Structure formats: structure tokens, C-alpha cells
Structure 1
Amino acid sequence: MKRNQMKGLLLMVFLFLAVPKMEAQTSDNNYRGTISKTVQKIESIFKVTIKDKDGLLKDKELDYTDWRIRQGNLEVSLTAVLAPFELTYFKENDSTYVIRKFEYARRSAAVGKERLEYLADLYPNLNAWETRKADLKQCIISSIGLDKAPAMPKTKPILTSKRIYKDYSVENIGLEIIPGVYATGSIYKPYPLKGKAPVVITPNGHFGDGRYRKDQQLRCAVLAKMGAVVVDFDLFAWGESTLQFDATLHRNSIAQTIQVLSAERLLDYMLSQKYIDKNRVGVTGGSGGGSMTMFLAAIDDRITVSVPVVMTSSHFVGGCPCESGRGLHLCGNGTNNAEIAAMAAPKPQLIVSDGGDWTSTVPELEFPFIQKTYGLYGKENLVENAHFPKEGHNYGESKRMAMYPFMAKYLGLDLKKVQNEKAEIDESTCVIELYEKMFVFGAKGENLPKNALKDINQLYALFGEKNLKVSEDKK
């Protein structure tokens, strides 16, 4: 082949390869563009401000960007542009939106309001609500895995020596809730204990030192001085639970199962004691303990009064798998903690909220919804809201001071036993114990039973499941 013929052939090959590419840029245009510019166009069209505080839009491109804009619907437009990148938006006010990473557990208050309006339409009367409530209850029990739990072993609980303080006592308990798995906690009792007493379960949340912290001990001790038997316990893979399961395992979804099951079986044990009044059963906890409080009041008919603290929300279900990892909030084609709290109706409930976290909307959003549900029974007066707009996420003194009278009223406790001369509730006579005194299995875990399970995979197997987080962590 001659040299000129070779050049001509190469030119034809080049044109053949180049033409489709050129056509893709012209006649088959994909209109690829940067998201940041499209968001700016959305701002201009809808006359709003869209903040990208964390630089989440940087360098992101998308096909058909501007074509995704729906000129008559701002939020549909934002969703179409952001969803491909696992991004979403939060509405701050009528004219300001913020770009956020998508979180299954957290939505904006506007989405919470939308959900509550949808839910309210599902049950316009008591019969409709009772039907949904029953369906939700069964689904929640199944989602958590309580229906698959092995039977509780017949072993006796491990009880430590009793410490006696002014008007109350404390002893530690290790209860084998399923084969080889122990719930560890403390039992606070009135001292001396006379007659039958109510029982209060107090699950704790992700607050620093867990059940060993000062405010948790104060809460338990004061309730005991008022006349209640109070039981608290460690979160899964927290406190003494780490003798069995390393702290890194707390974010496994099975944590939710074990925590709720711990509360249930500690309650089973307490109700088997002759000194407990089975008709007076309370539960209260904050943050993650607030989640457990709502779950227990929703699924356990034995609970007669509940006080969930800083956790009731229509737009946040708890970011830890120990609160939301088992998918119970997908029950009933979607529920939330406000509806779960409403499942306690018509039993007395005090919802404690504050202005510094996701419960800031409770007075105007979640509480009216819950109160309306109580209204289906004609019992609006049995649900209350104690809101602290200038406070943050804790179970602090002011929140405890709201809880004590409520528990006293509905559990028949004696508030006078903890009041000073000014009729103020006085926590100062309570003793804050050191960690070592609160341990069940010794300072170094030397008394941990030999059959104690330490393999997370075997724990899942007890429920007929596999530990899917193992494969997730390897990705």
C-alpha cells in the first residue's frame, strides 16, 4: 500500500471513531453540569437561600442537571438533584434550606410534620387506632427479635451484698437473660422495705459513664427513697457488659435486641418477687434510655406509667443501631417515635423535652399529635409535656424534678420523704457510689460466670441470625 493511501485510510478510521463521540456531544447531548450551578439556579427560580455549609456539592457533576428542575415544586427539584449523591436538604425556615448528608434516622422537622399529618389520617377513630396499634405492637416485637429469643435460663440471679444508706439500699444484680448472656445492673430499694412496692425500670442512654454516672444514681436513689424498687442496667457492650462483648460491638443491631430484652427479663424477675406490686410499674430513661422507655411502654402491657426523656421526636429515631438498627420504625409502612410514644395511651405518660436537640419541636408538633391520640380514649389529661426550651440533651436536675412528682402521683409514691423544709425535693442525702461498688462480677471481672458468651457471631446465632455487620465492616 502506498504511503498516501495509508494516510487516507488512517484518516478515515480516525473520522469513523471520532464522529460518534462528536454526535454524543451535540445531537445526543447529556447536558452534564455541576450540581452547585443547578442549585444556584434553583435558588433564583424559587427565591430561596440554599446553604452548603459542609461543601457537600463540591466537584459533583450530574447528567441532565438543569432538566431535573421542576419549576413548580422546589422540594421535588432539590430531591431530584441531590438524591443521586445520597444528599438531602433540611428546611430551616420558609426561605432557607441546608444541604445535608442523607441519614435514615434523621429528617427535618418539616418532614416530621408531614409524617404526623399522614399518620393522623390513618385512624380517625378509636377502633382504627386500636387496629393499627395492635399491628405496630406485633411488628415491633418481631423487628426487635423478641419473638425469637431463647427462653431465660432458670439459673438464680447473682446478687451482691447490700449497701444501706439513709432510707434506701442498693445491691447489684447479674441476670442470665439468655444462655450465657448476663444483664448487669443495680437494684435500689426503700429501706426498710415494708409491704408491697411499685417497681421502676430505668434504662440509661449514651451519657458518659452510663449507669455509673451521678445523675443516674440520684434518679434511682430518690425514687427508692420515695418508696419504689428501682432497677437500672448496662447498655449492651457498655459497663460490665464489655466483659462479654467489646465496646466496639455496641453499634451492632443486636444491641437493640439485648437492651430491650434485658429490661423485659429484669422486669420478669422483679415481678416474681413477693414484695412487688404488679399493678404499679414505671419506666423512665433519657436519650437512648428514652427510646427504650417508649418501646417498653408500647409493647409491654405491664407498664402502667412512662416518662421518656429527650427522645420523643417525629423526625429523629436515634442514630445508634441500638435504637434504630432493627428496623422497627419501618413497621406499619413507616412509624416514628411520636407514634410509638402514643402507643402508651391511655396510660399516664410524661414527655420531657428541651430546646437544644431534636425534641425542640415537641410542644407544637409531637405533643399535640400524642395528646390527640389520648383523646381517642377521652384521656387527654393523662399525657403531659415538661419542656425546657433553654436546656440541652440530658437528664439533668430540672428534668428529674419534673419526673419525680409525676411518678409519685401515678405510682403512689411519697414525695414528702424527699422534700426539705421548703417542700423542695432534696437529692443531697443520696450517696454517689464508686464504680467498684456497683460491679457485679468484681473490679476486674474475676467473678464472671464461666459460661459467659463472648462471641458476637454466636450471639446472633442464638436468634437464628447471622452477623451481617462482619461483611459490612470488611467493605
Structure 2
Amino acid sequence: MRLVLASWLFAVTLVAQPDFHLKLDESGATWKHTTVVADGHRGGAASFSHERAVIDVGPCPVHGTKPFTLRAALRTRHGGFSTMLMARSGDAVGLSLIMGRRRGCVSFEAWSWTTVRLISKTRVDDGRWHVIEVPYDPGTKTALLIVDGTVEAAGVLGPGASPDAHLRLGNNIGAWQPYPGDLDEVSVVRRTRYRKRFARVANAMRPVISRAEHARDLAALRARSFPKTSPLLDDAKTWPQRRLAVRRGVQDAIGLLPWPRRAPLAPQVHGELKTRGCKVQRVSFATWPGYRATGWLWLPDPQPKGRLPAILCPHGHWSNGALHHDVQARGIRLSRAGYVVLFVDSVHVEDVAAGVSSLGAMTWNNVRAIDWLLARDDVDPDRIGVTGASGGAQQTMYLMALEDRLAAAAPVCMTSYFAEIVSDTSAHCGCNHPPRIEHEVDVPAMCAVFHPRPAFFGTVTGDWTHNWPREGMPQIRRVYEEHGHRDRLVAYHEHAGHNYGRPMREQVYAFFDRLLLGKAGRVVEGDVKPLPVSDLLALGPPPRVPPSHRAMITEHRARRAKVKNLRPLAPGLPWKIARSPSFVKQDAGRWLRFTIESHDGVRVPGAMRGTFLDDTTPIPVVIGEHGLGDVLLSPPPWLENLPRVVLCDPRFRGAFAPFAGAWRRNGLVLGRGEGYEAAHDIACFVASLPSQAPVTLVALGDSGPSALIAATLTRRIRKIIATDLGSLYAKDGNRTPHLPEILRFGDLPELVALASKTAKVEAGLGRKLVNAEVAAALRD
């Protein structure tokens, strides 16, 4: 490998910011499992065909206050997710080229990668060489993605930096995302050109309203949508009559209504290790069709005769899962004290369109674990408890809502109102987001379903549970006190960070010992030296292997009830649109920029060109795949020929993009999924435009599904031209826009049929409409 440095920089910028140019036509010391191929873009090139192939280049500091231009030539036939190159230090990303955010397309991502991704319009997985260029201008904080000489995307990156970044080719740093392809002519120079292009981009990307104003709108919506109140528990006296309705709502939201079929458990013991006073077995048992949950069964050694109390212990996101030393400590101490203790390995699997959620998958594994405990002749069926921390406590909460076979429960470091774990710019773990759950129930009510059985709530000052003693716990306490069960409720609040450490564990031991062993008093954990993780892993099947994604979809679609319309899939939305009185002009020019207030008070940006005095000629309303700024930057040829046209930025496109990741998850739990939300924005926007003229929606890229749904909300939409509806949701249920549980209604053909009842639809179903077809459809 030849590394070419600008000579005038050589003496000083090795400690500052050097330009470099990697020709990649010969290997070097930093090449690992990487080979040279002769037919590069220029001369030889680096081939990353080996899954462990990387080239660690070295320091590549990136500052948002300094210009740079990244260039690389790539060749691949792999369109799935991979990292071609990455400059980062820890969590601070400097720059990267990612394949597969959209299949076959390349994405440039920098320090703001969670909210800003410049994705190519052209697929580059055709096995030919493609030249990627990314210039960045610090004055406008804007980057361009140029593919083979054509600007295909632009975005405002905002402030940021990764001053200690190191550059790697062929994979991510800190994550396993190997790139199966070739790279050549990789360079980073600390300057840029394209001054006129940047000026044009800055004008096109100029927001209708500021990001701060969008943030205020969404913060107000979040505050209204995630209240820290529990109206379900306001009438504590009648709670026993209402708790089963809450249970049904929880069961439905996590996809377990009706219950899955209970196949024979067929438990197996794969191996065993002994330590002082106890032993642990590697076990598995049947849960979902074709799937065996794995776990760790801790038993007293020697084991007393007769039936013993049992504790089910779901675990959270600790390193090594159930084998983390704090998790093992519980198994060792509880089994030595005379309990049968079962840890079930947590797994994550999600298909938004089918309603498959990680919580549903894990909860059913835990229900089947209880089945197994009850089937054992060494377990007392009347003395089964459950405890877990963090994600394990979350699983505990859902079991508290669904299971009558538990005698006691102790969730630790999880209980809080949803408001504590949501924001507008970042999302908690995906396992916190089953569809519609916050619309159906709040956390205090979910936990109160467990009444009148004893419950322990462990919280701390240093995580999202910090307010639980004041917000949530009092509501549950009222229910227990109203029915004379105050002594069955224990709350322990610790001045500590997120943990299930020894002080907390000893409180939980005392709680269970009093209830299930009949032993009162303070508990000291004692010596609980964990077993070596390597020895435990050698016992049997690897932990945390999720169920088959395709099998889970098939099972859910066969079992779950179908719906006749879309309302049950997004009950958090009104499904009725009124004309908004809030049409606010922001600025004039060739394009008049304005906002229209949507159904929930969030302002939707728009831009229009031409006169709107004609009430008969249809108004074309264009929804850009990446927002109105992208349409203005690279207008399709048919756009310039339209005498009047309107551009619309529904959620979460264009100006809303920085909030898309967080609100994609927020909308899921609120019962207002991303695609349904966008449909309401589009319908409200269309209904509120000046004049009474009918509207032709032109939906570019993946905005098509939302446009189809919007036609069911307002009759002003007379025609829809959807250029590319994308893959069927049955093939990719996690595609965008998210349409939670849409497969309970149908798929894209059914949405086309639904929209066709009120509008003429011309859609790219299974193929893309070319510009000539769009132009012809607009003339028709």
C-alpha cells in the first residue's frame, strides 16, 4: 500500500490533520486478510472478500469546523448492510461509508449519523466500479454525496467532531459489519471545492422553520402523549373489576392474544457444573414453533427432598447476559438458600409489520419457563417468584400483568412512566417498544394487575427510575391500601446508579425468603464467587440465539386476528381530518414557503410555486423521499414543466429527519406508527391548501405507502402517483415507513385497493415509475 502525503504537510500534520491518498495497489503491514486484485479502478485495488479482512490506516481526525473531501472507488455485488470504511474513536464517528441502509445504495454518515444520512439514489451493487466523493463545507455545515460525478444527496450535518478518530477500511470499529467488496483510491483531503454547489444546496436546504421550532413542537407533543399520570388507577376501589381488561390490552400489544399453541416442552439438560452448595445446568425447552429457548438452571447441592420454592430470573443487557457476575450471584445465593432458580436467555427479534416484538418473544419464553417449573416434581407450584433488573425487570413487569401463577415479584431498576425513557432525538432499546403499549396501558397500571400478590420495587437515584417513589409508586400503593394489602408492597430506593448490586440483591433475598421460605430478617449474601464464563459456555448451546424471524412472522400471521380497517393498528391517531385554519406564510420568493398545522399541533412545512386561483385544475403535491429540500436541490424533469406545484414535508422527512429515529420508536408505543402518522400529516396538509381544487399526490420513493393511506382520510386527493412503493411488508416488515401490524390488514396491494376506492392510483408496485411515466400521469 502506498500512502501519499502532501509534502508541505509532512513535517507537521502527522500530529495535526494530514491529507492522505491510499492507492491500495500493494499490500502493507496494516493489511489483515486483505488481498490485492489487479483490475482496480486505477491499477490494483484492495479486496475484502475474506470476512475478517480490514486495513487499519491510522489517525484520521475529523472536525466539523474544518473542510474535508472524502473520495473512494468501490466495487461490490453485495447490497446488504456493511461498512466500507469508518473513521471513529469510541462512540464518536468522524466519517463513514455504509452500504445497505437502503439495499444496494451507499450512505455517507458523520458525527450526526444517528439523524443525518446521505443515501445515494443510485444502486452501486452491480459489480462495477463507482467513484464516491463527499465534500464538506464547514460554513454551511453541509455535505454532498456525489456518485460518479452526480450529486445524489445533501445534508446539514450540524456541529460535531471526532478529533481522535482512526480510519479502518473493510469493517466498522467496535462493531462487526464486514464489507464484501473492493476499494481503491481512498483519500481524505482537508479542503473542498464546489462553492457554487454549496451555495445552491444551502438555499435549497434552507428550513421553512428552524430545527429548534420543530423540536419545540415535538417536545410539546411528547409531553401530551406521555403523561406522568395513571388514570386507570384513579378509582382504586374498583380496580379488581378492571384489571383483567388491562391484562388483555398488554397481552394484545405484545402479540400474545390469543396465546400461542403450547407444544410439548421436551426439556433437555445439556451439561452441568458444580460449585460449593449448588450446581448449574445448561438447559433448553420448546417455546415457539421450531425453537428451543435456552437457559441456566441453578439447584441446591445436595438438593433437599420435596418441593422447593422457585425463582424465575429474566436478565437484561448485561455483558454475557445470564453469565454476568451479578446475575450469577443471584443464582448461587438463591440456590444455596433452597430455591430452584431458572434464568432464561433473553433474545431479540422484531418485525414491525407483523407485530412481532422482542418483548412478545421473551414473554412467551418466560411463560413456558413457568410451565416447566410447574411441571417439575421438585418445585412447589404455590411458591414461584420472579425477579430481574433493567431489561430483566421489564420482562418481570409484563409477567406481573399476565401471569396469575406467580406468588411474588421483584422488578429492579426499570419501573417508571414511559416519559422517563423517551426523547425526541434518541431512543431506548428496541425491546421497550411493543406496538400500542402506551396507548393501552401505563406502567403503574401494568404492575398493579399483580395485586393483591406481594411485590417489591427496587429503584435508584442514578437512572430513569429516580422519580418512581413519587411518580408511579403512590398510585400502586393506593390500590394495595384500599384493599387492605399495604404490607404486601415493598419499595426500596437506593442512592446508586443503574445496577442489581449486592445491597439491592440482599433486599430482594429478604423479600423472597420471608414470603417463600418463611424466614424473616436481614440477609447477607455471603461468598458468591462466579463460575468462569468459558466453563459455562462449554456446557451446551450458545446463549441468546433468537427465534427464526421468518417462522415468527408465519406464526403471528396465522394466529393473530385480522382487522377490517387501519384504525385498530394506530388507535393513537384520530383517523378524521379537518381543514386546518393555520396556513402560515414563512417567506416569499420563487417558492413560497409556509407551514400548515397538523391534527396534533405539529407544523408541517411546505413550499409552493404558481397561482392557486383556479379551483378546477388539480394541484400536484409532491412528497420527496428525503424532503422538499432534496426535491428543490435535484428537481425531476417533469417538475419544472408544472405551472403550479406544492412540496410537502410530512413526518419524518426532510426537516423532521433529525427526529426520525426517536419518533419512529415513540410512535410505535403510542399507537401512531410512522407511516400512519405521515398519512395524517399529508391528509391534513392537502385538506388545508388554499382553493378548493382537487389534488394529485406525487409520492417519491418510500413515501408511497403513506400517500395511499392519506387518500382514505380526505376526498380532496383524486389521484396518487407513487413512483416506487418498495418491497412488500411481508418480505421486509422493518422497512420504512414503519406500518406497525399492517399485515393484520394486508400488504401493499391491499393498500392500493383501499386508496383506489376514492382516488385513481398509478403506482410502481414491484418496479419504479420512470420520469416519463410520471409526466404522462400528471398530464392525464
Question: Are 2:436 and 1:346 equivalent residues in the alignment?
Answer: no
Deviations 1:267-293 (A, max 9, x none): 101110111100001000011111111
1:392 pairs with one of 487, 497, 514:
497
- Give the aligned partner of residue 326 of structure 2: 215
- Give the aligned partner of residue 294 of structure 1: 397
Equivalences for 1:62-461 in 2 at 5 Å? 62=209, 82=214, 87-88=218-219, 112-113=227-228, 115-116=229-230, 118-121=231-234, 123-125=235-237, 128-154=238-264, 156-194=266-304, 195-237=306-348, 253-314=356-417, 315-316=419-420, 319-331=428-440, 335-389=441-495, 391-412=496-517, 425-438=524-537, 441-442=540-541, 455-461=548-554
Local SS of the residue matching 2:315: coil
Tell me which protein shows more strand as a share of its residues. 2
Amino acid in structure 2 at the alignment position of 1:164: K
CA distance in 2, matches of 1:191, 1:197: 13
CA contact (8 A) 1:348 1:382 kept: yes
- Give the aligned partner of residue 31 of structure 2: none
Amino acid in structure 1 at the alignment position of 2:322: R
Deviations 1:63-120 (A, max 9, x none): 9x9xxxxxxxxxxxx9xx647x86305xxxxxxxxxxxx77xxx69x9643x23x344
**CA spacing shift, 1:179–1:124, aligned 2, 3 Å:** closer
**CA spacing shift, 1:157–1:371, aligned 2, 3 Å:** same
CA distance in 2, matches of 1:137, 1:405: 29
CA distance in 1, matches of 2:384, 2:327: 19
Local SS of the residue matching 2:499: coil
CA distance in 1, matches of 2:246, 2:738: 34
Local SS of the residue matching 1:405: helix
- 5+ residue gaps, structure 2, are 1-157, 160-204, 423-427, 559-729, 740-780
How far the C-alpha of 1:347 sits from its partner, in A, is 0.9
How far the C-alpha of 1:328 sits from its partner, in A, is 2.6
CA contact (8 A) 1:371 1:383 kept: yes
How far the C-alpha of 1:248 sits from its partner, in A, is 12
The count of residues paired between Structure 1 and Structure 2 equals 358
How far the C-alpha of 1:363 sits from its partner, in A, is 1.7
CA distance in 1, matches of 2:421, 2:258: 23
Amino acid in structure 1 at the alignment position of 2:266: K
Amino acid in structure 1 at the alignment position of 2:365: S
Local SS of the residue matching 1:203: coil
CA contact (8 A) 2:460 2:497 kept: yes
How far the C-alpha of 1:401 sits from its partner, in A, is 1.6
Amino acid in structure 2 at the alignment position of 1:293: T
CA contact (8 A) 1:157 1:176 kept: yes
Deviations 1:19-71 (A, max 9, x none): xxxxxxxxxxxxxxxxxxxxxxxxxxxxxxxxxxx99xx975449x9xxxxxx
CA contact (8 A) 1:222 1:430 kept: no
Amino acid in structure 1 at the alignment position of 2:497: G
CA contact (8 A) 2:272 2:539 kept: no
CA distance in 1, matches of 2:508, 2:219: 37
How far the C-alpha of 1:261 sits from its partner, in A, is 0.5
CA contact (8 A) 1:180 1:453 kept: no
Local SS of the residue matching 2:252: helix
TM-score by length of 2: 0.42
- 5+ residue gaps, structure 1, are 1-53, 66-77, 90-101, 238-244, 417-422
CA distance in 2, matches of 1:406, 1:208: 27
CA distance in 1, matches of 2:252, 2:359: 12
Indicate the structure whose relative CO is greater, using CA pairs within 8 Å and at least 6 residues apart.
1
CA contact (8 A) 1:353 1:360 kept: yes
- Give the aligned partner of residue 242 of structure 1: none
Amino acid in structure 2 at the alignment position of 1:296: L
**CA spacing shift, 1:439–1:346, aligned 2, 3 Å:** farther
Question: Are 2:734 and 1:470 equivalent residues in the alignment?
Answer: yes
TM-score by length of 1: 0.67
How far the C-alpha of 1:453 sits from its partner, in A, is 8.7
Amino acid in structure 2 at the alignment position of 1:284: T
CA distance in 2, matches of 1:149, 1:379: 31
**CA spacing shift, 1:357–1:211, aligned 2, 3 Å:** same
CA distance in 2, matches of 1:468, 1:427: 50
Considering only aligned residues, what root-mean-square deviation do their CA atoms show, in Å? 3.6
CA contact (8 A) 1:186 1:438 kept: no
CA contact (8 A) 1:184 1:440 kept: no
CA distance in 1, matches of 2:433, 2:295: 23
Local SS of the residue matching 1:147: coil
Local SS of the residue matching 1:221: helix
How far the C-alpha of 1:154 sits from its partner, in A, is 2.2
How far the C-alpha of 1:472 sits from its partner, in A, is 2.7
**CA spacing shift, 1:140–1:155, aligned 2, 3 Å:** closer
- More displaced stretch, 258-267 vs 157-166: 157-166
How far the C-alpha of 1:442 sits from its partner, in A, is 4.6
CA distance in 2, matches of 1:406, 1:326: 33
CA contact (8 A) 2:289 2:551 kept: no
Local SS of the residue matching 1:395: coil
